[in-house]
């Protein structure tokens, strides 16, 4: 399973998304797009989004802190693994 | 499916709801708090809070975490279900949620509010593509760019101040010439060199290609229309209460009407915080109401 999350340090919904992934024991790569300009470009390219958090679990893209979609994507990825 | 009966179910986990939770746990009530999204609620989005006594300056996220920790220290049970409907069967209320049905003797509604939208062309299309309702979340993505803050209340001015620390330039677009926000922040903003005021003006359309690149702005006094090149639009034009699921009396803007004891028009159902009809919506007022409502719930349960 490959999980990436695009965040800013001041975004509460990013913190909640990470908390959810932590609870599910999912390890992830975090990109702080407030400082990492390259990651910011990549996020916009991949998601069309200029808003955080953006979470990618395998090929699935979850925009915002959407508890239901995050959980579903985690379950799906766990099954596939 | 139904389970145990609670003395009190608190719907919403912002400052008002968490305070009710703290008081209810300490009062020994069998309590459950339902929070569908994020404990602390809207406070999380405040860049800084400077008028909550005891904290000269604290970020909203930090204050929310402290309140959450306080509630957790008392083992307040929190579940992440959303409420769909409340069925009032008199002394027992049934709460239909996205999970199980829950029954409770009393309910405190502390669901707060969500940002009001402009409802103009381009707003939906560019949501998350330059249109945002949370400067602390998305502001850092606009480092070195030009953005607009739309609105004239406390939140608009605070977020404009926050944005002006990060971005190259902030236009503040307000439909009147005067701001109703706290004077201290209005003055601070007036001293910022990278803030330009666009007053007596409303945004009519948000334009872009993939991402936002301009706003169509109308001066309401002169009737003139201009196009403002921006990379982002942060919208803070008021709030809408989140209380569709309850059938109690509401004011003309949809906020729940209560008496001094915070009881709604339905016996045993109380309302606190931003979802309630009142003049001042602050952390300080939410917390006071959260405490008061539990005292009212205790009296209600006793009778």
Residues in chain A: 81
If one counts the domains in chain B, the total is 2
Last residue of a domain, one of B235, B253, B275: B235
Q: Which domain holds residue B249?
A: 2-114+239-302
pLDDT tens for chain B, residues 1 to 303: 557 899 999 999 999 999 999 999 999 999 999 999 999 999 999 989 999 999 999 999 999 999 999 999 999 999 999 999 999 999 999 999 999 999 999 999 999 999 999 999 999 999 999 999 999 999 999 999 999 999 999 999 999 999 999 999 999 999 999 999 999 999 999 999 999 999 999 999 999 999 999 999 999 999 999 999 999 999 999 999 999 999 999 999 999 999 999 999 999 999 999 999 999 999 999 999 999 999 999 999 998
Same domain, B231 and B260: no
The pLDDT of residue B157: 96
> Is A34 in Cβ contact with B137 (below 8 Å)?
no
Same domain, B247 and B108: yes
Mutate to test the interface with A, among B40, B137, B167, B208 (most CBs of A within 10 A): B137
Same domain, B214 and B245: no
Query: Taking all residues of chain B, what is their mean pLDDT, rounded to a whole number?
Result: 96
Which residues of chain B neighbour A40 with C-beta distances below 8 Å? Answer: 141
Q: Is B273 left (phi over 0), alpha (psi -120 to 50) or beta?
A: left
Query: Which residues lie closer than 8 Å to B200 by C-beta, 6 or more apart?
Result: B174, B175, B176, B177, B219, B220, B221, B222
The pLDDT of residue B199: 97
Closest Cα of chain A to B258: distance in Å? 31
Domains of chain A are 3-74 (3.40.30.10)
Spatial CA neighbour of A12 closest among B45, B124, B173: B45
The pLDDT of residue B191: 97
Same domain, B227 and B184: yes
Tokens of B164: 């002006």
Last residue of a domain, one of B185, B200, B235: B235
Same domain, B247 and B110: yes
Closest Cα of chain B to A58: distance in Å? 22
Residue B220 has φ and ψ, to the nearest 5°, of -75, -20
Active site residues of B: 134, 137-138
Spatial CA neighbour of B260 closest among B249, B276, B240, B247: B276
Task: Yes or no: say if B137 and B163 are a contact pair by the CB < 8 Å rule.
Answer: no
pLDDT digits (tens, 9 = 90+) for B79-116: 999 999 999 999 999 999 999 999 999 999 999 999 99
> Is A52 in Cβ contact with B59 (below 8 Å)?
no
The pLDDT of residue A81: 81
Last residue of a domain, one of B201, B235, B269: B235
Same domain, B243 and B110: yes
The pLDDT of residue A80: 87
Distance between CA atoms of residues A33 and A16, nearest Å: 17
Q: What are the Cα distances from residue A6, in Å, to A19, A24, A34, A42, B81?
A: 14, 18, 9, 10, 26
Mutate to test the interface with A, among B67, B128, B131 (most CBs of A within 10 A): B128
- The domain that holds B227 is classified in CATH as 3.50.50.60
Element (H, E) at B196: strand B195-198
């Amino acid at each position: 399973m490959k999980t990436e999350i695009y965040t800013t340090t001041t975004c509460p919904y990013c913190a909640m998304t990470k908390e959810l992934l932590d609870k599910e024991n999912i390890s992830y790569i975090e990109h702080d797009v407030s400082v990492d300009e390259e990651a910011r470009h990549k996020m916009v390219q991949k998601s069309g989004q200029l808003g955080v958090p953006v979470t990618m679990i395998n090929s699935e893209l979850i925009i915002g802190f959407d508890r239901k979609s995050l959980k579903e994507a985690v379950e799906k990825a766990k099954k596939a693994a | 499916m139904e389970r145990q009966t609670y003395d009190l179910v608190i719907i919403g986990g912002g400052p008002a709801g968490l305070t009710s939770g703290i008081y209810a746990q300490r009062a020994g009530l069998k309590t459950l708090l339902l929070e569908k999204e994020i404990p602390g609620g809207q406070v999380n989005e405040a860049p800084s809070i400077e008028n909550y006594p005891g904290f000269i300056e604290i970020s909203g996220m930090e204050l929310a975490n402290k309140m959450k920790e306080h509630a957790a220290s008392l083992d307040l049970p929190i579940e992440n279900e959303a409420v769909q409907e409340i069925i009032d069967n008199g002394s027992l209320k049934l709460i239909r949620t996205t999970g199980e049905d829950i029954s409770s003797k009393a309910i405190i509604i502390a669901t707060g509010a969500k940002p009001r939208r402009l409802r103009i062309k381009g707003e939906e299309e560019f949501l998350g593509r330059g249109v945002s309702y949370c400067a602390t979340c998305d502001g850092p993505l606009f480092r070195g760019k030009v953005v607009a803050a739309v609105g004239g209340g406390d939140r608009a001015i605070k977020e404009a101040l926050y944005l002006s620390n990060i971005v190259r330039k902030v236009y503040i677009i307000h439909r009147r010439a005067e701001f109703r926000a706290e004077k201290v922040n209005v003055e601070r903003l007036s001293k910022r060199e990278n803030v330009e005021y666009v007053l007596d003006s409303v945004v009519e359309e948000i334009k872009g290609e993939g991402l936002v690149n301009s706003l169509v702005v109308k001066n309401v006094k002169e009737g003139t229309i201009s196009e403002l090149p921006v990379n982002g639009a942060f919208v803070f034009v008021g709030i809408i209460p989140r209380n569709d699921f309850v059938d109690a009396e509401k004011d003309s803007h949809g906020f729940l009407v209560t008496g001094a004891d915070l009881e709604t028009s339905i016996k045993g159902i109380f309302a606190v915080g931003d979802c309630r009809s009142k003049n001042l919506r602050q952390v300080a007022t939410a917390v006071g109401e959260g405490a008061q409502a539990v005292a009212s719930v205790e009296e209600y349960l006793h009778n």
